[in-house]
Amino acid sequence: MHHDFWHQRWQEGRIGFHQARVTPLLERHWDATGAPAGSQVFVPLAGKTLDMAWLAARGHRVLGVELSGLAIDQFFEEHGLVPERRKSRFGTHYSAGSIELLCGDVFGLDAAALAGCGAVFDRAALIALPAELRGRYLGELYALLPAGCRGLMITLEYPPDEMEGPPFPVVETEVRAGLEREWRVQVLERREISEAERESRFAEEGVTALSTVAYALQRRQASGS
């Protein structure tokens, strides 16, 4: 997706992907990832998700990366925080307490930018990307995270011909193909979302089956280990 697409969504307030509560699968499964206490958690395509505040309240440091400065401003304003700002080659960094949000392109990061991240939480990043970018995202971005990094990834599965994303459907075989060379991948939960629970768009598009899947991830210490 082009950057302008996401900037326009935020400017127009078309942010149906933003949840008004903490992700239930995060609350239910974060401990199962074994993410070290106090570790820094990388949150790609962060938006203004409440999940970052939840992770910070659990004692983690948070590094979120988001294209939209508007989303970042809204996050800090809604949490009553006044961030300090600094610039780097990656973009503008906004920091308050244990939360740092980087306004920049996630594909512009390098290993040095993520070297301090002992964990990753991916709820709305992978499924926000079309197929031609997902392979690059899994193959390049996740390769930047350090050995031993642990995380939680949440995806959606639905018949791909029934709706034009985002969010896009991402099946287990795609997750494993993109990550298993360097990551251990474990399905923690696969749950069908009933028609009554689905967001209106899925109903409007006539999606006949919808499931959410939570994966525990662990970066291998060395290739093949």
**63 annotated ligand-binding residue:** no
Q: Where are the alpha helices (DSSP H) in 12-114?
A: 24-29, 50-57, 69-78, 111-114
CA distances from 92 to 12, 87, 119 (A): 23, 4, 22
Q: If 0-12 CB within 10 Å is exposed, 13-18 middle and 19+ buried, where does residue 41 land?
A: buried
- Are 134 and 207 within 8 A, CB to CB? no
Task: Specify the DSSP element, H or E, that contains 132.
Answer: helix 131-136
Task: Answer yes or no: is 6 a known binding residue.
Answer: no
H or E stretch covering 136: helix 131-136
**100 among the known binding-site residues?**
no
Is 66 known to sit in a ligand binding site? yes
CA distance 168 to 125: 10
C-alpha to C-alpha distance for 103 and 70, rounded to whole angstroms: 10
Distance, in Å, from the CA atom of 55 to the CA atom of 27, rounded to the nearest integer, reads: 9
Could you list the residues known to form a binding site, using ranges.
Answer: 10, 45, 66, 123
Could you list the residues known to form a binding site for S-adenosyl-L-methionine, using ranges.
Answer: 10, 45, 66, 123
